[in-house]
């Protein structure tokens, strides 16, 4: 949440910062602002609304050129999205500028204290107190990094801060507690950002800051200390970003979401790559939890939010079926507040695309405090969740920019299947040949996803005809139930329509009262093979809702003729084993939501009120 960029070097800081903000706008888009050090002073511009408003402001009132600057794109927490509340925030004299991601929980007390000392604050934000405190501390130590350390020791909550001071024109200082902050190391220049996407066009050499650290950036030197001032040499991680700037471009697509949907076959294949050996056995050496420890586990608990939570719900079916170990799935935001029963024999799996979701982070910390082992499934190298976990299995979706998660979801599913099969392998609950059969199916699945993508034109046409509807319901059974939840979530966040996902068997316990004439109901139908009881039951459910006037949109596998007579619209997906069906059945729902959002004139990549990475609880 909130995107931050800082730059010091020989280029125009304003150009670098604005380009970086464009790449981070997915993190928040309520308002944006920049500050540049030039001509011995500080020049700022900020505007409510998207970056384009800031661009217009800068065209009307250009800032002087300078080589040191910071910028921010905001997802509002304290104070509405107005020009005044936009970042950067300044001290009273206009010598310090600060941008912030996170929440300063004790800001009210700090604000009252500042007011007593005669400071006048102009915004409603929690951030502005930091600018004033930094100015006070700087006036006594004349060192911005030291001032930042002094201030950070007084702050409570989660925050990333980046600041400049007019009296230190070649310095940018950043601080991090919980929220992300990465350094980019260039030749005679340096960058700070919430995400490497902001500076990847300039350098792929990155340094990830640890908890409670302050970094001072100069053109030729980067110095990292703890909040206590001690050098942090052993506790920073330098790494090479293994994707290039083009991975964060739209690449000819109208939206990042469309590009990311199209990238799913590759993302799935990349996530499988190198994890299955020539003999068809799973090789998850990177999961640094020993086989003997995994054999000891008597429970798996999955914690995640939103789309990642839906991946967890599907994982439960796979884990329990392939390993016979009980598995619970919990919304991360609820987890620690219900006093969950955890011990060293519990394997907690934390699923997160961004690796920064605060609810998930807090859940995993709670789990580790109770002695559980935590395995992260994550898409973002070096982010906080994998850093704080006992082990990590990275998904290889590449950068996901659209707020609505698509390729990350499919790769989370693949990673969950791998974990489930691996557990089955080390615990001996699955025979080698059974695992190999599933692995064979998995290795063909990228091709099946590709085939789905080639058949999406009727789904788009159908979506456009539903643009004026108010409600769409989604039904599924077994793994089709979380798919239904995911379809409904996509529609809510993109099309701003009322959408609900239900287990089809629950319909008769209440939700069937919602069915009325021509109400669109999407039904995810399980394979008629193997678990045909489920198939037969859902065909009955479809008939029940049709009898009450629903318009049925049925997702069924190729060759399932039994369901065809009851489908007003039939969307075919390739034949897959039941547990793997979500990998193909979700794709039409993504396309459906994207097309409906477009038809309703909504912002596809940046839906209202949302942000990609949710770093507040």
Q: Which residues are catalytic?
A: 2, 612
Residue whose pair of structure tokens reads 């007019």 in the numeric block: 166
Tell me: does residue 194 bind ligand M6R (CB under 6 A): no
Q: In whole angstroms, give the CA distance from residue 283 to residue 180.
A: 30
Query: Element (H or E) spanning 317, and its range?
Result: helix 306-323
Output the six-digit token pair for 564.
Answer: 């065809």
Q: What are phi and psi of 588, to 5 degrees?
A: -60, -30
Q: Report helix angle 407-427 to 432-453, nearest 10.
A: 170
Strand partners, 205: 240
At closest approach, how far in Å is the CB of 610 from ligand M6R? 6
H helices of 25-155, where? 51-60, 107-116, 128-141, 144-152
Tell me: does residue 552 bind ligand M6R (CB under 6 A): no
Tell me: does residue 354 bind ligand M6R (CB under 6 A): yes
Using left for φ > 0, alpha for ψ between -120 and 50, and beta otherwise, residue 39 falls in left
CB 397 within 8 A of CB 379: yes
Tell me: does residue 197 bind ligand M6R (CB under 6 A): no
Tell me: does residue 353 bind ligand M6R (CB under 6 A): yes
Tell me: does residue 404 bind ligand M6R (CB under 6 A): yes
Residue whose pair of structure tokens reads 């976990």 in the numeric block: 389
CB 552 within 8 A of CB 564: no
At closest approach, how far in Å is the CB of 88 from ligand M6R? 26
Q: Which of 271, 360, 425, 541 binds ligand M6R (CB under 6 A)?
A: 360
Going from the C-alpha of 108 to that of each of 98, 125, 155, 249, the distances in angstroms are: 18, 10, 11, 41
x/- binding map, residues 288-307, to ligand M6R, per CB under 6 A? -----------------xxx
Output the six-digit token pair for 365.
Answer: 């910390």
Q: In whole angstroms, give the CA distance from residue 206 to residue 229.
A: 22
x/- binding map, residues 247-286, to ligand M6R, per CB under 6 A? ----------------------------------------
Tell me: does residue 179 bind ligand M6R (CB under 6 A): no
Nearest to 273 by CA among 396, 119, 111: 396
At closest approach, how far in Å is the CB of 138 from ligand M6R? 36
Look at residue 239 and give its three-state secondary structure: strand
At closest approach, how far in Å is the CB of 312 from ligand M6R? 10
Binding window for ligand M6R (CB under 6 A); candidates: 58-66, 167-175, 231-239, 353-361: 353-361
CB 74 within 8 A of CB 32: yes
Tell me: does residue 357 bind ligand M6R (CB under 6 A): yes
* Nearer to ligand M6R among residue 134 and residue 308 (C-beta): 308
* Nearer to ligand M6R among residue 258 and residue 554 (C-beta): 258
* Nearer to ligand M6R among residue 178 and residue 307 (C-beta): 307
Binding window for ligand M6R (CB under 6 A); candidates: 60-68, 366-374, 400-408, 568-576: 400-408
At closest approach, how far in Å is the CB of 400 from ligand M6R? 9
Sheet with 551-557, edge to edge strand ranges: 498-503, 471-476, 520-524, 551-557, 569-573
At closest approach, how far in Å is the CB of 489 from ligand M6R? 6
Q: Which of 43, 148, 276, 308 binds ligand M6R (CB under 6 A)?
A: 308
At closest approach, how far in Å is the CB of 13 from ligand M6R? 30
CB 57 within 8 A of CB 37: no
Sheet with 299-304, edge to edge strand ranges: 327-331, 299-304, 346-352, 373-378, 391-394
Tell me: does residue 475 bind ligand M6R (CB under 6 A): no
Q: Which of 36, 232, 403, 567 binds ligand M6R (CB under 6 A)?
A: 403
Tell me: does residue 606 bind ligand M6R (CB under 6 A): no
The DSSP secondary structure of 38-54, one letter per residue, reads ETTEEEEEEEESSHHHH
Output the six-digit token pair for 426.
Answer: 């080390």
* Nearer to ligand M6R among residue 68 and residue 307 (C-beta): 307
* Nearer to ligand M6R among residue 200 and residue 404 (C-beta): 404
* Nearer to ligand M6R among residue 354 and residue 381 (C-beta): 354
Residue closest to ligand M6R, measured at CB = 306
At closest approach, how far in Å is the CB of 273 from ligand M6R? 21
Q: Which of 405, 425, 541, 578 binds ligand M6R (CB under 6 A)?
A: 405
Tell me: does residue 614 bind ligand M6R (CB under 6 A): yes
CA of residue 565 relative to chain centroid, distance: 40
Look at residue 490 and give its three-state secondary structure: helix
* Nearer to ligand M6R among residue 11 and residue 333 (C-beta): 333
Tell me: does residue 1 bind ligand M6R (CB under 6 A): no
Binding window for ligand M6R (CB under 6 A); candidates: 399-407, 427-435, 477-485, 548-556: 399-407
At closest approach, how far in Å is the CB of 306 from ligand M6R? 2
Look at residue 253 and give its three-state secondary structure: coil
CB 112 within 8 A of CB 152: no
Q: Which parts of this chain interact with ligand M6R (CB under 6 A)? A: 305-308, 352-354, 357, 360, 403-405, 489, 493, 613-614
């Amino acid at each position: 949440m909130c995107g931050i960029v800082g730059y010091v070097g020989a280029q125009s800081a304003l150009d670098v910062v604005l380009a970086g903000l464009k790449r981070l706008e997915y993190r928040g888009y309520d308002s944006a602002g920049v500050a540049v050090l030039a001509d011995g002073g500080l020049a700022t511009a900020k505007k409510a609304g998207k970056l384009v408003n800031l661009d217009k402001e800068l065209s009307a009132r250009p800032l002087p050129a300078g080589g040191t600057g910071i910028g921010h794109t905001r997802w509002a927490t304290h104070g509405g999205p107005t020009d005044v509340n936009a970042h950067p925030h300044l001290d009273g004299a206009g010598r310090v500028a600060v941008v912030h991601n996170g929440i300063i929980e004790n800001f009210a007390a700090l604000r009252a204290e500042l007011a007593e000392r005669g400071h006048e604050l102009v915004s409603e934000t929690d951030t502005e107190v930091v600018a004033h405190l930094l100015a006070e501390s700087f006036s006594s130590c004349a060192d911005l990094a030291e001032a930042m350390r002094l201030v950070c020791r007084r702050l409570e909550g989660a925050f990333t801060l980046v600041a400049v001071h007019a009296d230190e024109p070649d310095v940018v200082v950043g601080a991090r507690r919980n929220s992300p902050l990465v350094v980019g190391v260039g030749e005679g220049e340096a960058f700070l950002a919430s995400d490497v996407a902001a500076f990847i066009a300039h350098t792929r050499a990155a340094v990830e800051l640890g908890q409670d650290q302050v970094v001072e950036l100069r053109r030729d030197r980067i110095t990292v200390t703890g909040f206590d001032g001690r050098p942090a040499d052993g506790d920073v991680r330098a790494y090479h970003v293994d994707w290039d700037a083009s991975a964060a471009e739209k690449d000819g697509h109208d939206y990042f979401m469309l590009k990311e949907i199209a990238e799913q076959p590759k993302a799935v294949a990349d996530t499988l790559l190198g994890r299955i050996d020539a003999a068809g056995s799973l090789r998850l050496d990177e999961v640094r939890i020993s086989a003997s420890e995994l054999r000891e586990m008597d429970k798996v608990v999955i914690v995640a939010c939103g789309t990642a939570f839906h991946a967890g719900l599907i994982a439960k079916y796979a884990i329990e079926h392939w390993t016979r170990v009980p598995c619970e799935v919990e919304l991360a935001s609820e987890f620690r507040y219900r006093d969950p029963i955890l011990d060293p024999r519990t394997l907690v799996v934390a699923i997160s695309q961004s690796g920064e979701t605060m609810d998930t982070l807090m859940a995993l910390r709670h789990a580790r405090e109770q002695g559980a082992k935590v395995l992260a499934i994550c898409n973002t190298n070096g982010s906080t969740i994998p850093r704080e976990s006992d082990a990590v299995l990275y998904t290889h979706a590449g950068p996901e920019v659209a707020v609505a998660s698509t390729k990350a979801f499919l790769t989370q599913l693949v990673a969950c299947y791998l974990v489930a099969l691996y557990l089955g392998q080390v615990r001996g609950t699955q025979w080698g040949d059974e695992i190999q059969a599933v692995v064979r199916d998995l290795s063909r699945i990228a091709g099946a996803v590709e085939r789905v993508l080639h058949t999406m034109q009727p789904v788009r046409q159908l979506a456009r005809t539903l643009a004026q509807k108010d409600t769409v319901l989604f039904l599924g059974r077994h793994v089709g139930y979380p798919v239904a939840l995911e379809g409904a979530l996509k529609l809510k966040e993109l099309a701003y329509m009322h959408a609900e996902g239900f287990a089809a068997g629950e319909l008769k316990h209440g939700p069937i009262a919602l069915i009325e004439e021509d109400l669109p109901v999407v039904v995810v139908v399980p394979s008629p093979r193997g678990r045909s009881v489920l198939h037969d039951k859902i065909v009955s459910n479809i008939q029940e809702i049709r009898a009450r006037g629903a318009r049925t949109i049925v997702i069924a596998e190729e060759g399932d003729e039994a369901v065809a007579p009851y489908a007003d619209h039939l969307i075919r997906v390739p034949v897959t084993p039941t547990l793997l069906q979500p990998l193909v059945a979700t794709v039409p729902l993504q396309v459906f939501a994207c097309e409906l959002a477009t038809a309703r004139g909504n912002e596809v990549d940046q839906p209202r009120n949302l942000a990609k990475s949710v770093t507040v609880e």
